Structure 1
């Protein structure tokens, strides 16, 4: 089977969850004998066969929002390129605009978060309203919508209606993280993510203000709010270390040394960092906003805490952690790839019988 993945980002040239998911999946499919082509910008060399549409432009504005015109241009160019590649399956993800220029039911959509009315906060009216309408139409246009969590799948079914949706959480190889476990826990709290409003950095500042006990804190990531947030963190009575350009190895080392990992996002379709924290032996604390699918990871692995408010988090991080043996049967690479292929197999059967 020839599978074409379409994404504007490419791991490890960038470090988002969408490209990380595709990178893992593409490599595993190739091991199983499938042909894979990754359609993206020209970032440079990759272990995955690439089809590119030129160098990447500036993708985000000064507020960290996706720039619309480059996203639309990427969609149009990649749709034309995919048509020439003659793929058995076209799997489209971020920024999803490729699907706008493809025929209905000719593609799979891997959809990481359903935003709905949140688009009006992201872009403001009337553009945000139009984006919310386009989101529903795009989802209905796909032959299959793959989501990284049950939460996203249920939101789509509730808000969009008659769409074929398949939740397929990402999987990781526990053996890759075994060497990190057992480190000395000399960091009290770590938080990782892009420095944007939706990732909850202001919540971290508020949590730390409520903790009287001096803590050692590590923050990892980059983004438009980096300077503003780190300046506020440095004013606190805690020892805060910022890692703006941490490598994957450095990030995992920090998680292995951490007592707690915080996920304070407004919304998460999934959270690879939360799963990696568990595999590295850190205890995750996830804020339950109603839109944060990292809650599912805590529930299903049996490790970590789910908090309803910031006070609960502040009280917990002041305490010592306890060890936990996670149940990761639902988050292995084998489970991930098997579930993905199962749904693609059902899709191919539907096409043959149509």
Structure 2
């Protein structure tokens, strides 16, 4: 009964939210083109950023790309970024109105007072929905950051890591239809890669779609892979979505060829105890170490030779980009838009998420061939420096915003 009520409430809330945004968008229509005379040099971003890595990966290059005043309306302060101002709703307002309701009101207040040139929302509900409403009301372009790609649209987003969307419980064709109708209203969609863009295009979207990944800060020095002490590293929340159990199965096979292999699992989550039991049952206590939630992940990546990602879903993993920036070789699932960054056989490897044998065989072969690892390590680092560094992503943001005349 409790789940039925949650589903009904989620469907009702999403229907009202999406429906209102669609009515406003169709009533007011697209905004007129921006001109130098109308431009105020302000961008309003709405979203939730609990993870510092994610916060810096996405907002730092946006703030650095121009002299515009970038303002984030969020639940709290995650970190300091030059050129970014964070506006946090009053705690009492968040308690009374909900965090989403308070952010909506604070966004309206900021829009009334400062009239930004662009409204941007991270994730479709409620942030991007709010951005579209405000963009139409104040006659400025609205941008939807499609952070999870297919996951936040398919079935209405019932598998997304969003409390309201996941409360749907099962796929909802009605909410999915509304979500795609809403997506087609935005002046700009930002996706992480080609697979996400194709998925959205297949549902009839003709609006502008640009690909901009998250970013990473490039380490100044990277030790050669031959000098590193961790053979294989897994970084992520220990949940079914990240499938760390698959990683353990992969390492079980690798350990047959390399009994002295050293692997590390970095992160915590609800599945920690079950995973520790799995390691014990497979007799891998000497090979796999649980390091828990760490603040020195970058240092651990610099000590690692291979980065393994066995998730059932990703957009473009920031942890993977960080690993590649350290010259750590990615061996990853073919999910989300990872293939856009990892060129299998050139700077890493991509396999079907269920193909444990290929994961294990490839990792075993790499550990036996330091020359191949050194080549792949250099290519992995170069790829990220060229395409996903703070500088590269900031440049990409500048190109997009200048073409829309949001910045000079």
Q: Could you say which TM-score interval applies, normalised by the shorter chain?
A: 0.7 to 0.9
Match of 1:204 among 247, 263, 268: 247
Structure (1/2) with the larger helix percentage = 2
Per-residue CA deviation, residues 235-291 of structure 1 (Å, 9 max, x unaligned), is 4333222232211xx211211121210111222211222122122121110122xx3
Distance of aligned partners of 1:270 and 1:227 in 2 relative to their CA distance in 1, 3 Å threshold: same
Q: Matches of residues 278-293 of structure 1 in structure 2 within 5 Å?
A: 278-288=324-334, 291-293=335-337
Report whether the alignment pairs 1:88 with 2:108.
Answer: no
Report whether the alignment pairs 1:133 with 2:184.
Answer: no
CA distance in 1, matches of 2:127, 2:302: 39
Match of 1:9 among 39, 45, 49: 49
The answer for the alignment partner of 1:50 in structure 2 is 86
The answer for the alignment partner of 1:63 in structure 2 is none
CA distance in 2, matches of 1:266, 1:8: 23
Runs of 4+ in structure 1 displaced over 6 angstroms? none
Distance of aligned partners of 1:300 and 1:285 in 2 relative to their CA distance in 1, 3 Å threshold: closer
Match of 2:71 among 16, 24, 37: 37
CA distance in 1, matches of 2:189, 2:237: 25
Contact 2:316 2:338 in 1 (8 A): yes
Distance of aligned partners of 1:22 and 1:171 in 2 relative to their CA distance in 1, 3 Å threshold: closer
CA distance in 1, matches of 2:345, 2:303: 20
SS, match of residue 36 in structure 1: strand
The answer for the alignment partner of 1:110 in structure 2 is 145
Contact 2:264 2:289 in 1 (8 A): yes
Deviation at 1:189, TM superposition (A): 1.2
CA distance in 1, matches of 2:303, 2:93: 37
Q: Matches of residues 310-349 of structure 1 in structure 2 within 5 Å?
A: 310-319=356-365, 320=367, 321=370, 322-324=373-375, 325-326=378-379, 327-328=382-383, 329-348=386-405
Normalization by structure 2: what TM-score? 0.71
Deviation at 1:180, TM superposition (A): 3.7
The answer for the alignment partner of 2:205 in structure 1 is 161
Deviation at 1:164, TM superposition (A): 1.6
Contact 2:301 2:326 in 1 (8 A): yes
SS, match of residue 318 in structure 1: helix
Distance of aligned partners of 1:121 and 1:9 in 2 relative to their CA distance in 1, 3 Å threshold: closer
Over the aligned positions, Cα root-mean-square deviation in angstroms equals: 3.1
Deviation at 1:227, TM superposition (A): 3.2
Task: Give the structure, 1 or 2, with the largest relative contact order (CA under 8 Å, sep 6 or more).
Answer: 2
Contact 1:3 1:35 in 2 (8 A): yes
The answer for the alignment partner of 1:275 in structure 2 is 321
Distance of aligned partners of 1:109 and 1:44 in 2 relative to their CA distance in 1, 3 Å threshold: closer
The answer for the alignment partner of 1:241 in structure 2 is 289
Contact 2:144 2:189 in 1 (8 A): yes
CA distance in 2, matches of 1:228, 1:119: 27
Contact 2:305 2:328 in 1 (8 A): yes
Contact 2:44 2:119 in 1 (8 A): yes
SS, match of residue 178 in structure 1: coil
Deviation at 1:198, TM superposition (A): 1.6
SS, match of residue 157 in structure 2: helix
Per-residue CA deviation, residues 1-58 of structure 1 (Å, 9 max, x unaligned), is 2122222115xxx2453x23333224423xx422121210133763431111245999
Match of 1:144 among 188, 202, 213: 188
Match of 2:64 among 28, 33, 53: 28
Per-residue CA deviation, residues 131-179 of structure 1 (Å, 9 max, x unaligned), is 43343133122110011222222221123422321111234343xx133
CA distance in 1, matches of 2:302, 2:249: 25
Distance of aligned partners of 1:124 and 1:49 in 2 relative to their CA distance in 1, 3 Å threshold: closer
- Unmatched 5+ residue regions in structure 2? 1-40, 161-165
CA distance in 1, matches of 2:241, 2:64: 31
Contact 1:71 1:97 in 2 (8 A): no
Aligned residues: 328
